[in-house]
Amino acid sequence: MKRLLEIYNTHPQWILCSATINNPKSFAEKLIGEQIELVDKDGSPSGPKKVVLWDLPYDDLNNEYRSGNIESQYLFKCHLERRIQTIMFTTSRKLAELHTSWARSELIKLKDRIVLIELDLVRRIGERLKVD
């Protein structure tokens, strides 16, 4: 892309955004091949946020902890029923698709508001560039 820009003698201002990369400055510099200035302060208005840390319940009958997938699905469903804006992170795309499907089937009235967003693209690009 940069070679094409050079042909037309164009020098754009690059604006790159990410909410999920560990080292965005290094990643962006490797991506565009230039030094960049990192802007990491957010002055936009936002509402209150709550973070839930959930310890899996222990099932005394089976002598094991309950499934993290079942517990997270339960929490997700409870929050959506109460109209609490919720984001669920999963360890794989398949699991994200399953949670989306389960939630849509259990919450028929809200099924059109439950959205699967794939953020795996950022991880794949980062692996290609081998960013620390």
- Which residue in the block uniquely carries the two structure tokens 């070679």? 3
pTM: 0.52
How many CB atoms lie under 10 A from the CB of residue 104? 16
- Position 119 scores a pLDDT of 60
Q: Where are the domains of the chain?
A: 1-40, 48-119
- Position 62 scores a pLDDT of 92
- Using only C-alpha atoms, what is the Rg of the chain? 21
Rounded to whole angstroms, how far apart are CA atoms 31 and 89?
26
**pLDDT(38) > 70:** yes
- Strand runs labelled E in 1-132: 58-59, 64-65
Rounded to whole angstroms, how far apart are CA atoms 17 and 19?
7
Higher-confidence residue of 40 and 126: namely 40
99 phi/psi in degrees, rounded to 5 = -60, -40
